[in-house]
């Protein structure tokens, strides 16, 4: 079965401003509780936003969400096999 949901950075265009904000904070390493406090929301509301983000983007777990957010910002981590100890331009 073919999944009709968008994937990758283009999927981010389907997110609301608040969903995008929650996703960025997850990528920065914030917990649901920290996100909720900083945005004046309940942790349940943050969880709802994350579930909506997953549904819209087709990702299945938090790591995929973080990689999606980092990729959209051009900050995809370098793999260990290609890390030469120098910064990429």
Provide the whole-model pTM.
0.70
Domains of the chain plus CATH, in order, are 9-73 (1.10.10.10)
pLDDT tens digit string along 33-76?
999 999 999 999 999 999 999 999 999 887 888 888 787 666 65
What pLDDT score does 62 carry? 78
What pLDDT score does 33 carry? 97
In the numeric block, which tokens belong to residue 41? 């929301």
């Amino acid at each position: 079965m073919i999944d009709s949901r968008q994937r990758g950075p283009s999927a981010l265009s389907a997110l609301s401003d608040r969903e995008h904000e929650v996703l960025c904070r997850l990528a920065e390493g914030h917990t649901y509780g920290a996100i909720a406090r900083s945005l004046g929301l309940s942790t349940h509301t943050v969880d709802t936003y994350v579930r909506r983000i997953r549904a819209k983007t087709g990702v299945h777990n938090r790591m995929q969400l973080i990689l999606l957010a980092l990729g959209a910002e051009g900050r995809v981590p370098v793999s260990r096999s290609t890390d030469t100890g120098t910064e990429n331009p």
